[in-house]
Amino acid sequence: MPVIDLATTPLRALNQALHDAAAPGHNDTAFEVLNPRGAHAVAVGIAAPVSVDVKGSVGYYCGGMNEQARITVHGSAGPGVAENMMSGTVVIKGDASQYAGATGRGGLLVIEGNAASRCGISMKGINIVVHGNIGHMSAFMAQSGTLVVLGDAGEALGDSLYEARLFVRGAVKSLGADCIAKEMRPEHLAVLAGLLAEAGITDVKPQEFTRYGSARRLYNFDIDNADAY
């Protein structure tokens, strides 16, 4: 297993090695990254089914555009972790700063601590599981995918939501425009149970969550309101 120490190796060399793992005949399937020391853009743009263990905290955009890889950060992450992720898994053992999982199109992001504001903003298919709390304006304009929060949510949850599914176990400070509480049907319990299991959470029941979703009033044209457009 290659061990790359960012105290002595340039970040560009690390990311190049991770990109090279997608080349035919490449045999490295696991990487360890030492001394990230809050570096930005660690392990971005990977397009291979490799595992990357980052031993420490990272800065902006760690795991961005990830495709297939499993990235584990043994620390906290700065803004935009797993931004525009396509597939694979990103696990943050600590906290995540603002807009975690922004615009993500697929894969699973697990934050074992808390997430700051705008978690899951404009998500487009990604699944996000947060063990702790999330900040204000989370899931703003979220289009598809699922956000699961075991703790509390801040103000304006799901503002201008499209068809993403939100499950919150704790309290919600306020709901954003067009976001409402919805019935938890058997199919939603099944989806939630699967995501909890995938995130390694075994001591929480899906029945403990409230589902939130779009009231579908903002993005539909209504001829009776034509003068308002």
pLDDT in tens, 151-185: 999 999 999 999 999 999 999 999 999 999 999 99
In 3D space, the residue among 70, 8, 5 whose CA is nearest the CA of residue 35 turns out to be: 5
The mean per-residue pLDDT over the stretch 135-157 comes to 98
Q: Whose CA is closest to 154, among 165, 170, 141, 178?
A: 170
Interval 56-103: pLDDT, tens? 999 999 999 999 999 999 999 999 999 999 999 999 999 999 999 999
* 84 located within any domain: yes
Q: What is the pLDDT of residue 221?
A: 58
Nearby residues of 210 by Cβ (< 8 Å), 6 or more positions away: 167, 168, 169, 172, 181, 184
45 pLDDT higher than 60: yes
Residue 194 has pLDDT above 60, yes or no: yes
pLDDT at 27: 86
Burial classification of residue 161, based on how many CB atoms lie within 10 Å of its CB (0-12 exposed, 13-18 middle, 19 or more buried): buried
pLDDT band for position 218 (cuts 50, 70, 90): confident
Whether residue 223 lies inside any domain: the answer is: no
If you average pLDDT over residues 23-49, what whole number do you get?
95
Residue 11 lies in a domain: no
Assigned domain for 24 exists: no
- Residue 112: the pLDDT is 98
- pTM here is 0.94
Answer yes or no: is 104 within a domain. yes
Distance CA 158, CA 215 (A): 11
Residue 75 CB-half CA count within 13 A: 17
- Asked if residue 19 is part of any domain, the answer here is no
Mode of pairing for the β-strands spanning 89-92 and 210-214: unpaired
Q: Is residue 165 part of a domain?
A: yes
pLDDT-derived band at 225, boundaries 50, 70, 90: low
As a whole number of angstroms, the distance between CA 161 and CA 65 comes to 23
Cα separation, 81 vs 162, whole angstroms: 22
Domain count of the chain? 1
Q: What is the DSSP string of the chain?
A: --EEETTTS-HHHHHHHHHHTTSTT----EEEEE--TT-SSTT-S-BSS-EEEEES-B-TTTTTT-BS-EEEESS-B-TTTTTT--SSEEEESS-B-TTTTTT--SSEEEESS-B-TTTTTT-EEEEEEESS-B-TTTTTT--EEEEEESS-B-TTBTTT--S-EEEESS-BS-B-TTEEEE---HHHHHHHHHHHHHTT--S--GGG-EEEEE-S-SSS--GGGGGG-
13 within a domain of the structure (yes/no): no
**What digits encode the pLDDT tens for the residues 111-120?**
999 999 999 9
The mean pLDDT of 200-228, rounded to a whole number, is 84
Asked whether residue 26 carries a pLDDT value surpassing 90, the answer given is no
* Domain extent for 82: 36-49+57-214
Per-residue pLDDT, averaged over 121-131, amounts to 98
| Banded pLDDT at 25 (limits 50, 70, 90) | confident
The pLDDT value given to residue 219:
67
